[in-house]
């Protein structure tokens, strides 16, 4: 049966080749899009973790909604010690984050000041290579209050390395405080949106300048690859006991719900695209097999007269569809794997199309090289779905072939 089906399939070589090419190319395109999208989602999640400050974020209760410096983590040493002793926690990073205003003789600019420990921060992201002038909080720098500003702020305020600027922010008591800083570095990440508000100093300088004592604004928690943020968060809250009521512990997804919504929406649109594409292909396949059946009415009638029952005729048409589907899926997987291998190894640099920058859910995605991510399970499922579409498209032509009366079919085209 399968041998006969394969030979029948290639009676009209042009039509069969075009059908296989259409299905195979569509399948390959689907696989490549799936791989690129998945890699994009992973990149977006990594960017969100870096932007947020960790997979888990510990703040004073109410901080993330108001971003007010009045909400701090008091006596953070105990919280940090608890986190460092937990299984699944890779690193704990303390920060002071303030919304403020940096001023010079040429004007003022809004900034997000982050007081950090450079060595700790480098465990998540090392901004040192992005400093085009000066240094990134070099311990050898003798400045009491060093400050690194983004290129956009430097341009707006017409600053030069070594200039002194005044930074104004609200301290934990709600008092407006001004402190003098010296510009020791200029940051240029390539993201204009980021470089227009980024400001960095040391944790000690920020605590000293804004009367914070030992208090921190944020404790970022980096987790092992297999650790579950929700499970770690629940365990931390149990260990802290009553102290947990004065803190808020957020996962990166809770900190950036817009990004989660963006990813879910994009996945939904990708599914709609795949459904529409294969509906079109499915109708094309149904039309192809229906034409094949109508062209072979007399032949099928003769087979029926020779004793080939309706069930076997149905099986013959479905076998032909299976041969077509398996060949097309094999072609699609081969082409998709070749393109995916190239994108995994080399990638596609979008800079050739000009300066490109995306803002997804509040996260700046400055990566311009498109890569892909191979997921065997999703490729197998997609291939099975394609094969099912091909078989489903052949059911109506197969049903028509099964209903042919041998005597009536034999009189066709005489």
One domain for residues 69 and 28: no
One domain for residues 313 and 399: yes
One domain for residues 33 and 117: no
One domain for residues 370 and 392: yes
Is 319 within a domain? yes
Please state the domain count of the chain. 2
Q: Which two tokens stand for residue 288?
A: 């192809």
Is 357 within a domain? yes
Question: What is the tens place of the pLDDT at every residue in 77-87?
Answer: 999 999 999 99
The residues, ordered by sequence, that sit 6+ positions from 414 with a Cβ below 8 Å of its Cβ are 298
One domain for residues 301 and 333: yes
One domain for residues 271 and 180: no
Is 386 within a domain? yes
**DSSP codes of every residue in 171-227:** -TTS-EEEEEEEEEEEE--S-HHHHTTEEEEEHHHHHHHTT-TT-BSEEEEEE-TT-
Q: Which two tokens stand for residue 239?
A: 């260990």
The pLDDT value recorded for residue 298 is: 61
One domain for residues 168 and 185: yes
Is 267 within a domain? yes
Is 244 within a domain? no
Of 167, 191, 219, the last residue of a domain is: 219
The pLDDT value recorded for residue 312 is: 74
One domain for residues 33 and 99: no
Question: What is the tens place of the pLDDT at every residue in 20-36?
Answer: 888 888 888 888 888 88
Q: Taking every pair of C-alpha atoms in the chain, what is the biggest distance, in angstroms?
A: 102
One domain for residues 44 and 165: no
One domain for residues 154 and 264: no
Q: What three-state secondary structure class fits 166?
A: strand
Of 219, 244, 275, the last residue of a domain is: 219
One domain for residues 69 and 117: yes
- Residues 23 and 285: beta-carbon distance below 8 Å: yes
Label residue 414 by pLDDT band (50, 70, 90).
very low
Measured distance CA(227)–CA(314) in Å, rounded: 53
Is 234 within a domain? no
Q: Show the domain range for 318.
A: 2-48+259-410
Question: What is the tens place of the pLDDT at every residue in 163-201?
Answer: 999 999 999 998 999 999 999 999 988 777 788 889 999
Q: Which two tokens stand for residue 225?
A: 């690859």
Question: What is the tens place of the pLDDT at every residue in 74-130?
Answer: 999 999 999 999 999 999 999 999 999 999 888 999 999 999 998 888 888 888 888
Look at residues 22, 88, 52, 71 and name the one whose alpha carbon lies nearest to residue 255: 52
Of 171, 196, 219, the last residue of a domain is: 219
- Residues 63 and 71: beta-carbon distance below 8 Å: yes
Question: What is the tens place of the pLDDT at every residue in 278-318?
Answer: 777 777 777 776 676 666 666 666 666 666 666 777 777 78
One domain for residues 131 and 197: yes
Quickly tell me which residue has 């000293």 as its tokens: 208
Is 229 within a domain? no
CA-based R_g, the chain, Å? 32
């Amino acid at each position: 049966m399968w041998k006969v089906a394969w030979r029948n399939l290639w009676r009209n070589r042009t039509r069969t080749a075009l059908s296989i090419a259409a299905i195979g190319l569509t399948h390959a395109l689907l696989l490549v899009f799936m791989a690129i999208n998945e890699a994009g989602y992973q990149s977006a999640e990594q960017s969100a973790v870096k932007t947020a400050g960790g997979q888990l974020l510990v703040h004073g209760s109410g901080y993330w909604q108001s971003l007010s410096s009045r909400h701090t983590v008091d006596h953070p040493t105990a919280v940090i010690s608890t986190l460092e002793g937990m299984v699944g926690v890779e690193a704990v990073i303390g920060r002071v984050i303030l919304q403020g205003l940096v001023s010079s003789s040429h004007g003022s600019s809004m900034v997000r000041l982050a007081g950090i420990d450079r060595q700790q921060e480098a465990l998540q992201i090392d901004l040192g290579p992005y400093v085009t002038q000066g240094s990134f909080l070099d311990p050898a720098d003798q400045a009491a209050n060093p400050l690194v500003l983004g290129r956009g702020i430097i341009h707006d305020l017409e600053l030069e390395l070594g200039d002194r600027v005044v930074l104004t922010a609200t301290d934990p008591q709600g008092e407006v405080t001004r402190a003098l800083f010296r510009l020791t570095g200029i940051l240029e990440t390539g993201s204009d949106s980021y470089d227009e508000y980024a400001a960095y100093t040391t944790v000690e300088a920020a605590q000293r300048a804004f009367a914070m004592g030992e208090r921190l604004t944020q404790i970022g928690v980096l987790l092992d690859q297999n650790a579950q943020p929700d499970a770690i968060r629940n365990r931390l809250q149990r260990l802290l006991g009553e102290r947990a009521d004065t803190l808020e512990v957020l996962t990166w997804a809770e900190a950036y719900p817009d990004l989660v919504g963006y990813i879910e929406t994009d996945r939904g649109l990708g599914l709609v695209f795949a459904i529409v594409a294969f509906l079109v292909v499915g109708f094309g396949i149904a039309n192809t097999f229906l034409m094949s059946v109508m062209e072979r009415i007399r032949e099928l009638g003769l087979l029926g007269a020779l004793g080939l029952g309706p069930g076997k005729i149905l099986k013959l048409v479905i076998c032909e569809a299976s041969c077509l589907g398996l060949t097309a899926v094999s072609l699609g997987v081969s082409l998709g794997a070749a393109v995916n291998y190239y994108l995994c190894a080399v990638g596609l640099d979008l800079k050739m199309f000009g300066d490109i920058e995306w803002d997804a859910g509040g996260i700046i995605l400055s990566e311009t090289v498109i890569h892909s991510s191979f997921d065997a399970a999703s490729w197998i499922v997609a291939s099975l779905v394609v094969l099912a579409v091909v078989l489903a498209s052949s059911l109506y032509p197969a049903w028509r072939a099964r209903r042919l009366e041998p005597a009536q079919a034999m009189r066709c085209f005489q």
